[in-house]
Structure 1
Amino acid sequence: MSALVETQLAFANYIRDPAKYPAPDAIASERLEVYRELFFNNVRGFLDNAFPVLHGLYPADAWLALQQHFFANYACQSPYFLHIAEQFVSFLQDYPLTAQDPPFLTELAHYEWAELYVGTKQALQPIAPLAPDQVANSPLALSELALLAAYQYPVQRISKNFQPDKPGELQCFLIYRDHQDEVIFVSLNQATLLLLNQLSEKPGQTLSELTQTLAPGLAPLTPAQLEAAALPLLQELAAKGAIVPAVK
């Protein structure tokens, strides 16, 4: 390893965790502190803004400790600041909760990230909307500006005044960006979640094909009953941009 590479590695290690790694001799301590504050404060500020509810639930020192732990120990895979929130959610998947962390930490972080993700994602190509009478027979797809999520905690209600300590009834959501670029959260029952998840995983199916596939798991409802129940919902979601024609 060359002297330059050794210095760069020592610099990076110190920037991440100055309590664990010594400062490189080749760089003045005053300059190291400037770089350390610049890097960490940029990441810290983005996490503060991306997770306002979560941030507000923590004592200041505990939130700072969590941010420092992420900064020091997680190897981010993207250099873009906009991806930091996604990397933080990924980091929390394997993060061992401490006494200061709420049990819903991972789920609430994902719920807050979902809004940022859907709100900032760039569409690859414009897609003409489906008319209501096209929904019944057209090959369908979930918009690329939409995602599905399910949580064990009622994340949509969590606040300083409501912090559940154990899981409850499953909370299912469709999160999408409408034609006015507003992020919309739609609460789903489990049957609707199954329908939209099937569409997400296997786009290009018609409503009839979807209901035929799902009917065995939703007995005693017949495919015709499922289709009659699902059509108004899919028409409404198509009008708002969450359901789109499948790309051939």
Structure 2
Amino acid sequence: MKPALKHFFDSMGAYFGRPGEESLEQLYAEHPGWDAQRGRVAVYGDFVRGHVRGVLEKIFPLVRGAVGPEAWSALVEGYTLTRPARHHELNHLAESFPAFVADAAASRGLAAFVPALARFEWTDFAVFASEERAPERVERLTANPTLAVLEHPFQLCAYVRTKGARAEPEAGEELALLWRHPELLVTYYVEATPSALLVLKMAVEGLAVPEVAAATGMPEAELRGAVERYSRDGLVLAPGGGHG
């Protein structure tokens, strides 16, 4: 890219990050002779900043509710200064927001769980939008290819189920499993219970119910029930359970 063109795009990015007449004046000062109508440029800047805010509000509603309106506006403004409006797909404008929240949490006085919650909400969306596709048929028990695993020191699954009705999630280490249901095409999530992890282990290692029952002492009927339950939920894909 030619230096002059790069300078233009860099200065335009800075303008997107800072609303207001002063920012607009600075943009024009950096490019003498540029004759674009200022009213249109101002509208365009507001349009881009509005896209960033709208995407963040859509993907992170629980973070927004947890921090309150003033802190949320400050987060959005601070994040906009990092110039996220570069990706061609609008939802990806929010991809770096959890990392920004994590870096800003201490200086902005955010509750300790907020960075983990932002990561959870982004993962929820990323799993939903994943380009991975579950096969229509499998020969053996198979882990859902959209599966994502998060570890955090809060009970976020319960908190998210209540849509943030509690003031804060309970403290406590949690391993959360998130995946897209192959038929309903929505994100499911659960705490990684021993039964869920056992069924996943069976899928990953190609283990059969009788040998796992013999090795663990778990009744075969109980183990088959767990496999069937997590197959219905789409955590694992079972032979004969096509969804095409």
TM-score of the aligned structures, taking structure 2 as reference length: 0.72
Structural mapping, 1:149-160, within 5 Å: 149-155=150-156, 156-157=158-159, 159=164
SS at 1:172 equivalent: strand
8 A contact 2:59–2:122 mirrored in 1: yes
Tell which has more relative contact order, 1 or 2 (C-alpha 8 A, sep 6+).
Answer: 1
Cα deviation 1:57-88 (Å, max 9, x = unaligned) = 23322211111211212657743112233332
Q: Structure 1 243/197 Cα, relative in aligned 2: closer, same or farther at 3 Å?
A: closer
2:242 paired residue number: none
Cα offset, 1:241, TM superposition: 2.4
* 1:48 lines up with 2:57 in the alignment: yes
1:9 paired residue number: 10
- State how far apart, in whole Å, the 2-side matches of 1:157 and 1:173 are: 12
Q: Which moved more, 1:155-164 or 1:140-149?
A: 155-164
Q: Structure 1 10/49 Cα, relative in aligned 2: closer, same or farther at 3 Å?
A: same
- State how far apart, in whole Å, the 1-side matches of 2:60 and 2:112 are: 16
Cα offset, 1:43, TM superposition: 0.7
Aligned CA-pair RMSD: 3.6
8 A contact 1:148–1:197 mirrored in 2: no
SS at 2:28 equivalent: coil
Give the unaligned 5+ runs of structure 2. 240-244
- State how far apart, in whole Å, the 1-side matches of 2:146 and 2:224 are: 21
2:217 paired residue number: 225
Equivalent position to 2:187, from 178, 183, 191: 183
Equivalent position to 1:114, from 111, 123, 127: 123
SS at 1:128 equivalent: coil
Structural mapping, 1:230-245, within 5 Å: 230-244=223-237
1:91 paired residue number: 100
The sequence identity of aligned pairs, in percent, is 18
8 A contact 1:11–1:24 mirrored in 2: no
TM-score of the aligned structures, taking structure 1 as reference length: 0.71
SS at 1:207 equivalent: coil
SS at 2:74 equivalent: helix
Cα deviation 1:71-122 (Å, max 9, x = unaligned) = 2126577431122333322433434433442211111112222332233334
1:207 paired residue number: 207
8 A contact 2:151–2:175 mirrored in 1: yes
* 1:72 lines up with 2:73 in the alignment: no
